[in-house]
């Protein structure tokens, strides 16, 4: 069964001086302020589209990697995934770097890296972001 998740943003003003509020409708987890300065400069307590993408990508990748490892008979005890999404004003998103450290009993480093590369290529968020260069660093704890 397909699912649809919904968020919306209310924006006031122009790009440089305006501000917005992103609301996560499906989960009801809250509202998060956004602005151009929080996107192109320091976050200052606000989020950005890139941070939202980073959260989505790190979660999706972790789920895909966990599923792949379990399917291969080596379920992880723990995965810590960080996604760094780089934004260049005037250019856009220039890349995403995933860093994962895993605790996976019974699996060697090479096997973990191979599983992580597969998850990077096949998680739905990676597939949705195919127009962006996605790199990966993977290691066991």
47-138 is a CATH 3.30.300.20 domain: yes
Query: Considering the entire predicted model, what is its pTM?
Result: 0.95
CA nearest neighbour of 132 among 80, 99, 97, 105: 97
The vertex-68 CA angle with 141 and 61, nearest 5°, equals 70
Are 71 and 104 within 8 A, CB to CB? no
To which residue do tokens 């320091």 refer? 42
What does the pLDDT look like over 88-122, one tens digit per residue? 999 999 999 999 999 999 999 999 999 999 999 99
Strand ranges for the chain from DSSP E: 7-12, 19-24, 30-34, 78-88, 92-103, 134-140
Report the pLDDT averaged over residues 134-139. Answer: 98
What does the pLDDT look like over 75-93, one tens digit per residue? 999 999 999 999 999 999 9
What does the pLDDT look like over 21-78, one tens digit per residue? 999 999 999 999 999 999 999 999 999 999 999 999 999 999 999 999 999 999 999 9
Which tokens is 59 given?
């979660």
Give the residue range(s) of CATH 3.30.300.20 domains in the chain. Answer: 47-138
């Amino acid at each position: 069964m397909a699912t649809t998740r919904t968020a919306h943003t209310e924006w006031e003003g122009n790009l440089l001086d305006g501000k917005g509020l992103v609301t996560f409708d499906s989960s009801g987890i809250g509202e998060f302020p956004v602005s151009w300065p929080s996107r192109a400069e320091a976050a200052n307590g606000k989020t950005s589209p890139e941070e939202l993408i980073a959260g989505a990508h790190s979660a999706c990748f972790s789920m895909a990697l966990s599923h792949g490892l379990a399917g291969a008979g080596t379920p992880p005890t723990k995965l810590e995934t960080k996604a760094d999404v780089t934004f260049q004003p005037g250019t856009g998103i220039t890349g995403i770097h995933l860093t994962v450290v895993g605790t996976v009993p019974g699996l060697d480093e090479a096997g973990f890296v191979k599983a992580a590369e597969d998850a990077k290529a096949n998680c739905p968020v990676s597939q949705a972001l195919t127009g962006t260069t996605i790199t990966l660093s993977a290691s066991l704890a």
